[in-house]
Amino acid sequence: MAKLRKAAAIVAVVLGSLTVTGAALADDRQTQRTPRDHRAFCERLEQAAQDLRAKIGHIQAVQERIRQKIASGELTREQEARAKHVLRKLEGLQQQLQERLERMLEVYGEKCQR
C-alpha cells in the first residue's frame, strides 16, 4: 500500500511539473505574425472565397438544369418528386455556402483591407 501511495505521489509530482513547464513554454512561444505570414493568410482566404464562389456557381448550374428538366414535362411523377427534393437540398446547400462566403468576406474585410 505504501508503495502504491509513493508511486501515486511521484506521478502527481511529475505531471504537475510537466503542466507547469508546458504552460511556461506556451507563454514563451506566442509570437507576432510577420507581414509575409499575414499576406499569405489573406491570399489563402481570398483563394478559399474564390473556390466557394465557383462551387456556388456549379450548384446554380445544376439547379438550372433540374428546373429545365422539370419544366420540360419529360419526367414521371416519381422522377419529378425526386428532382424537386434534390432541388430543395441544393437550395439549402447554396444558402449555407452563401453564408460561409459572407463570413469569409467579412473576415477578409476586417483582417486584410487596411
Q: Are residues 104 and 65 in the same domain?
A: yes
Q: Are residues 17 and 42 in the same domain?
A: no
Q: Is the dihedral of CA 80, 84, 89, 91 positive or negative?
A: positive
Write the CA distances from 65 to 39, 83, 87, 98, integer angstroms.
39, 10, 10, 20
Q: Are residues 77 and 93 in the same domain?
A: yes
Per residue in 63-105, pLDDT (tens digit) is 999 999 999 999 999 999 999 999 999 999 999 999 999 999 9
Q: Are residues 6 and 40 in the same domain?
A: no
Q: Are residues 44 and 26 in the same domain?
A: no
Q: Are residues 47 and 98 in the same domain?
A: yes
Q: Are residues 56 and 90 in the same domain?
A: yes
Q: Are residues 84 and 97 in the same domain?
A: yes
Q: Are residues 51 and 104 in the same domain?
A: yes
Q: Which of 31, 27, 53 is nearest to 105 (CA)?
A: 53
Q: Are residues 39 and 89 in the same domain?
A: yes
Number of structural domains the chain divides into:
2
Q: Are residues 51 and 73 in the same domain?
A: yes
What is the mean predicted confidence (pLDDT) over 31-58? 88
Residue 111: pLDDT band by 50, 70, 90 thresholds? confident
d(Cα 94, Cα 64) in Å, to the nearest integer? 13
Which domain covers residue 22, as residue numbers? 1-30
Residue 27: pLDDT band by 50, 70, 90 thresholds? low
